[in-house]
Structure 1
Amino acid sequence: MPSGSDPVPDYAAWRKGVAGVLAKARRVDTADLPAEPEHLLDARTYDDVTIAPLYTRRDERPELPLPGVYPFVRGRDATRDAHRGWFACARITEPEATAANRELLTGLENGIGAVWLRVGAHGVAVERMSTALSGLLFELAPLVLEAGSAANAAATQVFSLLDADTPQRRADIQVYLGAGPLTSRFVGADDIGLDETVELVRRAAARAETVRAITVSGTVFHEAGASDAQELGAAVAAGLEYLRVLTDSGVDIADAFGQLSFRLAATDDQFATIAKFRAARRIWARVAHVCGAPAFGGAPQHAVTSAAMMTQRDPWVNMLRTTLACFGAGVGGADLVTVLPFDSALPPGELGVSKAFAERMARNTQLLLLEESHLGHVLDPAAGSWYVEDYTAELAEKAWEFMQELEAAGGYRAVLDSGLLAERIGATAARRDRDIAHRATTVTGVNEFPNPVEAPLSAAARRPGPNARYGAAFEALRDRSDAYLAAHGARPKALLVPLGSVAEHNVRVTWSANLLACGGIEAVNPGPLSVAAIAEAAAESGARIAVLCGADARYAEQAGHAVERLRAAGVRTVLLAGAAKAVAEVAEDMRPDGYLAAKMDAVEALSGLLEKVGA
């Protein structure tokens, strides 16, 4: 190719086509657009990563090394069994040992490949662990523990079980003891102290099996509202703090790296998830390189589908969310993947389905992707994608920058004590909440396309949870609607007042009904109304709120008269679907009381409407 020539000769023609479409949509001349108009279509993530509308050879990056070698972007294991793929890891939450063992064996018999067992205060009693783990073949299924302050005692029990076994290849046995005092401290969870962690590391490193004592849980940051780069940067900062503590205590740097694993959240943004897991390996490998141990930078990754993305309303959609999240984590190269049950944001039995059913759906989500879609048959299948490679590199840089910010402020423990880490994550969470409230970010079934005939939730389900779940503000509105229904036998309602022909009002009628349903307000649609028929429709509906729906030209002619008739019929609040400028020429005392527009804060608007009807 001649020097200086465009690697994509057709790009100029594509750009011209984009300019034509944008000029038409914006009602401007193409000459008024920027020289590179396609950048008007760019999207930006919460980490300020640019997502372009098209990736081409212009965006090509050098091919990365194969899996198993620095910087491990394509995977930490060069010889991973392509017929197995990742380990489908089930979380065992039964506190009673016999029931936990039954759940464990059922999972193993039906396709899971790894076990995540809760032990101690919120799980199986330490002294009953042998019962819970009975029948587990350690050399075939990795074991992940979640023991909190009982981590050392739980480790003793596991080591006793391992010593009683006689496997041929002890190094093939994988055990993750799950100690995580630094990340547990972020959320105020019980865990062992750092001195105990060092002792646990020494015990684990002396084992013939592959035992990792520490789990760096990025999920705690994610569930507090962190962006992807913040989750990765904070997790790496915590990992660095562990390395300092361990090496200061005399642990060899290679052994220190060998004692850490990472747990990260996988979301339904599949490309972001793919990039996140690849970027996580890249930045941790960079840490190892800086520490002089580049060969030890391939830490295992445990992906858990995001608890923050799980909804209480229309929870069946969570099956689709977790499928996308599992896809992203698997393609991104996670070593173990846990899919949370679709009803995990609700109390047990809330939907009238059994725990076994929900767990089977979670398990089969992974099995379908592994056994039917064959995602595990190829290592790093996203490699070479201009989009994914660019996203991976940009996200890694943003995460590294965030980690450097935390380091410059004194390191992980210092930013915990100062509140800087919580403050930075809280700002991102607030920004996301604003986007969801303004419906710039969609949560299907919650702030868009809700199910208006969904059964009310129980009082137990309506109690606030510990996580910053996306769309929780809208679900709180629906809780208020449920309470109103219980008290009055009907939901809050609003009368839609369609003006003009169906072609004129249909879009705004549909949009308004969808918006109202997001707040649990029933939309009463009597069909096209003449101005003369409005009072009768209002009286028949009994609604105290009405929404005018029509074209701007129709508003200029009829909105004022419609408002008069609605108020005369006893409607207390009259709104207009559209902007105030549509009735600028209408007399002030005949204008609506408010306006429903696409860019408004829908949570605030719907909350106000619920207050007006006494919900």
Structure 2
Amino acid sequence: MPIGSESGAGLAPDPVPEYAAWRKGVAGVLAKARRVEASELPAEPEHLLDETTYDGLTIAPLYTRRDELPEQPLPGSFPYVRGGDATRDPQRGWFVGAFAGAGDAEATNRAILTGLENGVSAIALGVGTHGVAVDDIAVALRGMLFELAPLTLVAGAATSTAAERVFDVLDGYSIAERAQVRVGLGAAPLTSAFAGAEDLDQAETVALAVRAIARPETVRAITVDGIAFHNAGAADAQEVGAAVAAGLAYLRLLTNAGVDIADAFGQLEFRFAATDDQFATIVKFRAARRLWARVAQVAGAPAFGAAPQHAITSAAMMTQRDPWVNLLRTTLAAFGAGVGGADSVTVLPFDAALPAGELGVSTTFSQRLARNTQLLLLEESRLGHVQDPAAGSWYVDKLTDELAAKAWEFMQELETAGGYLAALDAGVLAARIAETAATRAADVAHRRTAVTGVNEFPNLAETPLSEQAREPGPNARYGAAFEALRNRSDAYLAANGARPKALIVPLGSVAEHNARTIFTANVLASGGIESVNPGPLTVDAITAAATESGARIAVLCGADKRYGEQAGAATDALRAAGVETVLLAGAEKSVEQYSGTQRPDGYLALRIDAVAVLSQLLEKVGA
């Protein structure tokens, strides 16, 4: 029975009677684009537009009332999908987070107070190797109103000692309602073990949690840091599933040490990455709350399943090249995290992937932009005035369900391997995340996934990076492979006074070559290779143009029919001018029709491994 039909015994009316007409329209457009008859398409042609995430979830092109799910309970109610806090201040929204700790204690204190005066409402204080000296914590926190701004420590192996110093400060702090003071101590031994970072050992973490439970303030000793998995290349469901598995391992450590289950839940908070895929980010935070609520339910403590969530914009999505685009990325990420219900959000500065001062702007300036990104969303767009504004979206609700199921499946896979610690020791967790990272890297390399300013629309005219900036970073940034090519180009420029270059050889009219010349220049620039385009050339003029350019690489650009008429002779002309590598913009089959000296050395097409091809071209010119 065709969709949309209401005839037939026992068949309910289609809830979206317009769907059949929409499907017909889709079929018409796809048939025209594919140059086939509509009858040759599948029965449900709209599925040709489906997208698949790195978690294997299918994103449909349209969500309708057909996808409607039962409404979730209100915020503050199990399973906390719509938020863990029923009484969040709508005038505040989420907490605006900021890192502090760069410089000495006095400078850190000034930075904290200045931030709090200008819109920051939560502080992450770096201590030890991450920031100020442990013994200077009291100076750094001088004048801070703890009941208004939550504090989180980032102290690594110094966490226990740093916590003692914070407790000393709190003991001298005058406030009647101690429970209003919220402090996160940031101990993260299990996720730090995955990331290879120094942290407390498990016994120290349990002891710290026991001390935190005894405090009159609201103190959570442990941070389950999902960002450790994200920065290694994990997909969203892997990040959430691994974080929940780590959370389970912490619960076991605490309860095995005699901690009450409710108190154990009260010692954990979560940290997740927010990316520029706004809907995926919204869904990640909602799905993570559902999973942790389910863990609490199974543990017999459903009322304690609403752990705080901290969002930090993804370091992996940031770029060194065209870094101003990072402002757009972090805006989308902050939007997604805030709408998704994160309790606090920290936006990385747009130049976070570069050494301080690399762009000639002050640290204060980039931090101010990061802070104001959130303030615009909260104060002008008023996003915080509504809890879970995405609720009721067929797309968001359905994807939340699907991501939660996939994350639970991944968590169970780790449990089957013996739990988080066993899966970590056996390499199961790292191997699964590495598979995803490799798939994403291949998509970026083949330009199936765009990184604006890096593998799409690069700007070769921007100022070359310093040698310090070209050093590899700790995180697997999505555009790193292309940026490594650009680094080689910068080094070549410094040594030779000019960038590696390639001659673009347009054949035929503008209508014939324009699309391919633009494509070719874009691809070459993504590898740091400058294009020389003298305009349409006849075969007779090619030798002179090649000689004048001095390029050792040339790319023929034209229509397939024109290639059949001129590509062979054009290749001969280029070789006669001393061009060492001749490529053809188009499919591989366009090259295969030639042989001998007339056969181009390769081709540039839409889905080639651009990183590999561009690396080879740079090698040919000595970069």
1:135 aligns with 2:152: no
SS of 2:584's equivalent?
strand
Query: 1:291-325: CA deviations, max 9, x gaps?
Result: 11111000000000000011111111111100000
Residue from 364, 372, 376 that aligns with 1:356: 364
Correspondence for 2:488: 480
Whether the 8 Å contact between 2:130 and 2:154 is mirrored in structure 1 is no
Matched with 1:366 is 374
Does the CA contact (< 8 Å) of 1:95 and 1:122 recur in 2?
A: no
Quote the offset at 1:454 in angstroms: 1.2
Partner of 1:277, secondary structure, is helix
Aligned residues: 615
Aligned partner of 1:378 in structure 2 is: 386
- Per the alignment, residue 269 of structure 2 pairs with 261
Q: Are 2:323 and 1:297 equivalent residues in the alignment? A: no
Partner of 1:226: 234
Conserved 8 A contact 1:556-1:586? no
Question: Could you tell me which of 44, 58, 69 is aligned with 1:61?
Answer: 69
Q: What corresponds to 1:100 in structure 2?
A: 108
* Cα offset, 1:168, TM superposition: 2.7
User: 1:521-532 maps to which residues of 2 (within 5 A)?
Assistant: 521-532=529-540
How far did residue 27 of structure 1 move? 1.8
Give distance in 1, aligned partners of 2:358 and 2:287: 38
Shift of 1:585: 4.2
1:361-393 CA-partner distances (Å, limit 9, x unpaired): 101101111111111010000000001111111
User: 1:14-163, aligned counterparts within 5 Å?
Assistant: 14-163=22-171
Q: Residue 422 of structure 1 aligns with which residue?
A: 430
When the two chains are superposed, the root-mean-square deviation of aligned CA atoms in Å is 1.0
Per-residue deviation, residues 428-450 of structure 1 (Å, max 9, x unmatched): 00000000000000000000000
Cα deviation, 1:147-199, whole Å, max 9, x if unaligned, reads 11111211111111111112132111110010111111111211111111111
Residues of 2 paired with 1:239 and 1:110: CA distance?
Answer: 35
Describe how 1:445-484 pairs up with structure 2 within 5 A: 445-484=453-492
Shift of 1:584: 4.7
**2:83 maps to amino acid:** G
Q: Where do residues 251-290 of structure 1 align in structure 2 (5 Å cutoff)?
A: 251-290=259-298
Q: 1:3 and 1:62 mapped to 2: Cα distance?
A: 22
Q: Assess if the C-alpha contact under 8 Å between 1:544 and 1:613 holds in 2.
A: yes
Distance 1:464 1:121 in 2: 20
Deviation of 1:213 after TM superposition, in Å, equals: 0.5
Change (3 A) 1:580 1:191: closer
In structure 2, distance between residues paired with 1:374 and 1:3 = 45
SS at match of 1:441: coil
Aligned residue in 1 for 2:569: 561
Match of 1:510 in 2: 518
2:546 is the counterpart of 1:538: yes
1:241 to 249, 258, 262: 249
1:589 shift after superposition? 3.1
Residue 581 of structure 1, CA deviation: 2.2
1:189 aligned residue: 197
**Structure 1 residue ranges, 4+ long, deviating more than 2 angstroms after superposition:** 580-589
User: Does structure 2 retain, via aligned residues, the 8 Å contact 1:556–1:583?
Assistant: no
SS in structure 2 of the partner of residue 358 of structure 1: helix
Distance (whole Å) between structure 2 residues aligned to residue 220 and residue 581 of structure 1: 44
SS in 2 for 1:18: helix
Report SS of the residue matched to 2:263.
Answer: helix
Distance of 1:476 and 1:587 partners within structure 2: 34
DSSP-derived class of the 2:130 partner: coil
Counterpart CA distance in 1 for 2:536 and 2:103 is 58
DSSP-derived class of the 1:575 partner: strand
The farther-off stretch of 280-289 and 199-208 is: 199-208
Give how far 1:122 is off: 2.6
The residue type paired with residue 509 of structure 2 is S
1:434-445 equivalence runs, <5 A: 434-445=442-453
C-alpha displacement of 1:91: 0.6
What residue in structure 1 maps to residue 3 of structure 2?
Answer: none
- Does residue 348 of structure 2 align to residue 336 of structure 1? no
TM-score normalised by structure 2 residue count: 0.98
Q: Which segment is superposed worse, 153-162 or 110-119?
A: 153-162
Matched, 1:606 2:614: yes
Q: C-alpha distance in 2, partners of 1:137/1:29?
A: 69
- Aligned to 1:250, which of 231, 247, 258? 258
Paired AA for residue 401 in structure 1: E
| Among 177, 180, 188, the residue aligned to 2:188 | 180
The alpha-carbon deviation at position 358 of structure 1 amounts to: 0.7
Look up the match of 1:217: 225
> 1:482 Cα deviation (Å)?
0.5
Percent pairwise identity: 72
Q: 2 CA distance for matches of 1:208 and 1:93? A: 26
Aligned equivalent of 2:211, options 191, 203, 207 = 203
Q: Which moved more, 1:166-175 or 1:513-522?
A: 166-175
User: How far apart in 2 are the matches of 1:587 and 1:459?
Assistant: 44
Work out the CA distance in 2 between the residues paired with 1:573 and 1:181: 52
Contact 1:496–1:524 (Cα < 8 Å) also in 2:
yes
Does the CA-based 8 Å contact 1:548-1:559 persist in structure 2?
yes
In structure 1, C-alpha distance between the alignment counterparts of 2:468 and 2:531, rounded to whole Å: 28
Contact 1:553–1:582 at 8 Å: present in 2 too?
no
- Supply the distance in 2 between the matched residues of 1:137 and 1:275 (Cα, whole angstroms): 33
How many Å apart are 1:582 and its aligned residue? 2.7
How far, CA to CA, are the matches of 1:570 and 1:161 in structure 2? 74
Aligned-pair distance for 1:133? 0.4
Match of 1:519 in 2: 527
What is the one-letter code of the residue matched to 1:247?
Answer: T
Following the alignment from structure 1 to structure 2, what is the Cα–Cα distance between the partners of residues 554 and 583? 13
Cα distance between partner residues in 2 of 1:175 and 1:236: 21
Compute the displacement of 1:354 (Å).
0.5
Separation of aligned partners in 2, 1:478 and 1:580: 26
The Cα of 1:542 is off from its aligned counterpart by: 0.4
Partner SS for 1:250: coil
Partner of 2:334: 326
- Paired residue type of 1:24: K
Give 1:517 deviation, angstroms: 0.2
TM-score normalised by the chain length of structure 1? 0.99
How far 1:264 sits from its partner (Å)? Answer: 0.3
SS of the residue aligned with 1:302? strand
Shift of 1:93: 3.4
Which segments of 5 or more consecutive residues in structure 2 lack a partner in the other structure?
1-5
Q: Which amino acid aligns with 2:448?
A: A
